[in-house]
Structure 1
Amino acid sequence: MTQVWPLAFGFAVIVFSGVGASAYTRPPPGRILTVKSSESDSQPQQVRISIANSDQMRISWITKDKNLPSLVEYGKTPGVYDSSASGESTSYRFFFYTSGNIHHVEIGPLDANTTYYYRYYDILLLAGDLSYADSQQPLWDSFALLVQPQASRRPWMVTQGNHEIESLFPIFRIHPFAAYNARWRMPFEQSSSTSNLFYSFDAAGGEAHVLMLGSYAEYGVKSQQYKWLKADLAMLDRRKTPWLLAIVHAPWYNTNDAHQREGEGMRKNVEKLLFDAKVDIVFGGHVHAYERFVSLV
């Protein structure tokens, strides 16, 4: 017996029944289960592993953000990822559906009968003004509890904003940054910095160098921050590290009425160092308005 089922697009599906089929009747399909993700656009999702070769494995995952690198770090000890591999990403469209960015990375060669640990590269860069506690210290606890699901799963790299100063006496700045320095310890010592308020680190397997600068630390040409930044940039080999990023809180250029020229002093002292080093992009915060500028060179 042949049955024809009309479809919305005017096509027809022809189904041929089998001969001598058993008396078993297939039950009707259950309800369609739709699962929506509440993760951030950069969070890896739908992670899966497959065999790529006799001594290689393929790690695949999807991100909503289409600008993230396809990079996996791995190693034989938990927390020690001394090897890395880059791969490729793709996406596709099917009628009205557009997929996320689908990443595929092959890792190896791998040793037989060995357990490996791996991670994807996913970092949050935060340009200051974390909790807005403004000296109300219990709000730091509330903030940390709220962000724990995300902050415990990927690195949060932060710099300070004006709301982290928390001085009850702004003129004398009694105990500034006490909560920030105690709670959010960054790798300043590893980058030869003298203060938790400014530091640098490498990302994306060494292909990117990130400068976390302090808008509210001293930045004059005789300051510790200026001397550190000059030395840090001098050690950078752009042939090995093609990407250079800088993060500040108070933007150096801003057409919004709010916070006009608050970053001007730092710009006058520091901008030439970044310009000569051919920095690729500078991120700023503070203004609460999105704005971007295209390079003129």
Structure 2
Amino acid sequence: MTVLDETYRLADGAEIPRLGLGTWFIDDDKAADAVRAAVGIGYRNIDTAQAYGNERGVGEGVRTSGVPREELFVSTKLAAEIKDHDRALAAIDGSLDELGLDHIDLMLIHSPQPWDDFRGGDYAEGNRAAWRALEEAHQAGKIRSIGVSNFQRHDVENILRGATVAPQVNQLLVHAGNTPTELLAYCESEQILVEAYSPIAHGAILKNAEVKAMAERYGVSVPQLCVRYTLQLGTVSLPKTANPDHMRSNAEVDFAISEADMETLRDLRDVDYGEDSVFPVYSGK
């Protein structure tokens, strides 16, 4: 048994694989091949989003993977700019059409604010309206589980105040050098599973000498150490890659990081994302 066979159980009873394939930055015309390769290696958790522009390719990969649909866990995200009920309902159906699937296993609100106002204005009412649309699609069987992404505690509390279905997941930027300890603890207290996107810090962590030295002590690569770190935090790890060799390597994490080294990785700060700091999630807001 490997990490690819391991799952968490969401509060609603659904099982989600602990390791998934992130598909951000994979072009739509390359996504199907990436998904088929990942599924062939043993991945069963595939993550995409409306904003990635590759739902069509991801869906094709899922449908042509040779693995029964019920064995795959497919997630997508409602565009961050959609903060009203009717547009959200239409966008949910749009994702189903793009993916070519009869249901989505998990759908998230991608961000509590539109990307051009990330961590800016108050969109509480709009988020509640979008959440009602997710709840209705969930009730209709179009979506098996629903959740959020990039939500801070007050954003989650806003949803919980009016929800008939609680968020099952909060997908967050979590990696060595960016470990939101208090938010992780809050989500755990609310039975909200955290998914860690960019567990390898969008590649920025590869330059960190301390992390490289630690990986060498364990006889693993820096990406393997970073994936293992997020798994030991109790999150779903979603490393993104279209490279089958990297997919295999990211799944070869059958080792344990000591508590002392976990503490060192938790305490890391100031990861430099370089030119990718232009993206809102890496901007430090």
Q: Would you call these one fold, judging by a TM-score over 0.5? A: no
Query: TM-score band, normalised by the shorter chain?
Result: 0.3 to 0.5
Comparing both structures, which one devotes a greater share of its residues to helix? 2
Relative contact order, higher structure (CA 8 A, sep 6+):
2
Q: Scaled by the length of structure 2, what TM-score is found?
A: 0.32
